[in-house]
Amino acid sequence: MDVEIHEVVATVRSVSGDSLLSQRTLKTIVETVLKAVRAERESETRQGTDRRITNGARDEQEGED
């Protein structure tokens, strides 16, 4: 059985590949990444402090390593 279509009405939208993320979505992604980077840096700083060997509290007070 053959079907014949005489007329088609449709709405076609096209978008640029560069605009797939809205400003709001992009901002959320950037904020999430920055938060993760800050947390990683803080963790590395804490780990470095935990691993450092000093001659006691006086060295730390004087800022010597």
| Residue 28 domain flag | yes
Residue 37 CA to residue 44 CA, distance in Å, equals: 11
Rg of the chain (C-alpha set): 29
Q: How many domains does the chain have?
A: 1
pTM equals: 0.48
| Residue 38 domain flag | yes
pLDDT in tens, the chain (65 residues): 888 888 888 898 887 776 678 888 889 999 999 999 999 999 988 888 777 777 766 666 766 55
| Residue 27 domain flag | yes
| Residue 11 domain flag | no
Structural contact between residues 48 and 60, judged by C-beta atoms closer than 8 angstroms: no
Return the closest-CA partner of residue 20 out of 11, 9, 29. Answer: 29
The H helix count followed by the E strand count for the chain is 2, 0
Domain span at 44: 21-50
| Residue 5 domain flag | no
